[in-house]
Amino acid sequence: MNLSLTEISHLPATGEILSLRIISNSPAIKNIPDNDEFLHLWDGLQILHPGDKRILNWHYAPWFNVEFSANNGHYVLHVYLGGMGIIELPDGMRGAVLFTL
């Protein structure tokens, strides 16, 4: 991935997420989590540092997108098969996360 990423200092806790919408990237892709399943995945989220080698070596296809709002703003998350995610923060910056699947 050739991305300009920032260091994420804070993401909202599950209880701070006010609204949530999950969008499939393809009707052919199965096992898209529902809202409750996503929130469970969110609880185990790992924030990755911009220079993490796992980001540079990632090559999996898109899985699903999530748009959600919290007290501090609106987030857009692009999740890839295997659990890597690129999140667009309320300030317009982007960071990388990894879900435990």
The reply to whether 16 falls in a domain is: no
Q: What per-residue confidence (pLDDT) applies to 34?
A: 95
CA-based end-to-end distance of the chain: 21
Q: What per-residue confidence (pLDDT) applies to 21?
A: 97
Checking if the pLDDT of 3 tops 80, the result is: no
* pTM more than 0.85: yes
Residue 43 DSSP code: H
Position of tokens 């200092």?
A: 9
The reply to whether 19 falls in a domain is: no
Our count of domains for the chain comes to: 1
The reply to whether 1 falls in a domain is: no
Q: What per-residue confidence (pLDDT) applies to 1?
A: 47
The reply to whether 98 falls in a domain is: yes
- The whole-number average pLDDT for the span 46-59 is 91
The reply to whether 65 falls in a domain is: yes
